[in-house]
Amino acid sequence: MYDIIIIGCGTAGMTAAIYARRSGKSVLLLEAESIGGQVAVTPKVENFPGFGEISGSELADKLLDHATSLGADIELEKVTSIKKLGDRHFSVTGEYNSYECKAVIIASGAKPRHINVEGEDELVGNGVSYCAVCDGAFFKNEDVALIGDANTALIYTLQLSSLCRKVYLLTLFDRFFGEQELVDAVKQKSNVEIHHNLALTKFIKDGDSLAGLEMLNKESGDIETYAVKGCFISIGQVPDNKAFADIVNLDEKGYIIADESCCTSTEGIFVAGDCRTKKIRQLTTAASDGAIAALAANSYIDRVVRPVV
């Protein structure tokens, strides 16, 4: 039995592992997809204190080295449920195995929001992507579109502009919502064409692959066509906490309800990072939550679980 199982190997989960190990607790990290979470697909981080500028993958590697060098175990496993085992323990079940522990920290982060236009799911891998860092290179010297208007969309546009022949930056509203510095950098790129105030009406296909986009110009009412082989969608994040809905309370958007204490509605289950209710979802707040959740889990085990075992 582990003292603490942490679900999600992103910034929040790995920070929680560092704090939990340094408190002397045994720790298992369970990761569904790839170690690092969102930071691993961030080209450049410039606001993580102490680093000035660092690539996201390097920061993810450093977090991983730190957590594992302190003795945290890691398994690649998507968690599908958490159940209570009596009053004081939990069983955490994944696709392959079940594990037992005294406390759980959910750090399952967030995933890209889908645009929900017909054909989207079938085109993923055939032209539609949510990650320019992961898939941009597949469209080298091609024309692509980026749908979005905030920081991630702007970062992805810059990334794509250095790989692709042309990038159509298509926004859903009449302005950008990202940092001015990024907006200025995008506007300086000669191969980026910006079009505002659009709505995606159709993915145009050639066989199984993407061939273009039909967009409604909300101002003129015209349908505009963009011939692109790649379409990157960057319209925000959504949590994926369905597996935990029967054990902790979620809000109407699916975030796990918790305040700065990182305690959930269930004693012994804590939450950290982008998957919880909060206003600011950033690396620093994910790391902060990881520390708070781990120390809360540590104190819960010492105070509540140990005396009765």
Ligand X SMILES: Cc1cc2nc3c(=O)[nH]c(=O)nc-3n(C[C@H](O)[C@H](O)[C@H](O)COP(=O)(O)OP(=O)(O)OC[C@H]3O[C@@H](n4cnc5c(N)ncnc54)[C@H](O)[C@@H]3O)c2cc1C
Here the tokens at position 221 are 């009412």
Q: How many other C-beta atoms lie within 10 A of the C-beta of residue 280?
A: 9
We find the least distance from the C-beta atom of residue 271 to ligand X, in angstroms, to be: 10
Question: Quick check: is 131 catalytic?
Answer: yes
We find the least distance from the C-beta atom of residue 62 to ligand X, in angstroms, to be: 14
Cα–Cα–Cα angle for 250, 283, 299, rounded to 5 degrees: 60
Q: Quote the CA–CA distance of 256 and 278 in Å, as a whole number.
A: 10
Interface ranges with ligand X (CB under 6 A): 7-13, 30-33, 37-39, 41-42, 45, 47, 78-79, 107-110, 152, 155, 240, 243, 273-274, 281-284, 286
Question: Quick check: is 231 catalytic?
Answer: no
- By beta-carbon proximity to ligand X, the closer residue of 126 and 151 is 151
- By beta-carbon proximity to ligand X, the closer residue of 122 and 181 is 181
How far separated are the first and last CA of the chain, in Å rounded?
12
Active site residue: 9, 101, 135, 274, which one?
A: 135
We find the least distance from the C-beta atom of residue 8 to ligand X, in angstroms, to be: 3
Q: Quote the CA–CA distance of 130 and 275 in Å, as a whole number.
A: 18
We find the least distance from the C-beta atom of residue 229 to ligand X, in angstroms, to be: 21
- By beta-carbon proximity to ligand X, the closer residue of 72 and 212 is 72
DSSP helix/strand/coil, 281: coil
Check if the beta carbon of residue 176 is closer than 8 Å to that of residue 184: no
Here the tokens at position 156 are 């992805």
- By beta-carbon proximity to ligand X, the closer residue of 5 and 305 is 5
Check if the beta carbon of residue 202 is closer than 8 Å to that of residue 213: yes
Question: Quick check: is 3 catalytic?
Answer: no
We find the least distance from the C-beta atom of residue 223 to ligand X, in angstroms, to be: 30
Place of tokens 């540590």: 298
Q: Quote the CA–CA distance of 87 and 309 in Å, as a whole number.
A: 11
Active site residue: 87, 134, 208, 251, which one?
A: 134
Q: For the chain, what is the radius of gyration of the CA atoms?
A: 21
Active site residue: 9, 101, 131, 263, which one?
A: 131
- By beta-carbon proximity to ligand X, the closer residue of 280 and 308 is 280
The catalytic site residues sit at 131, 134-135
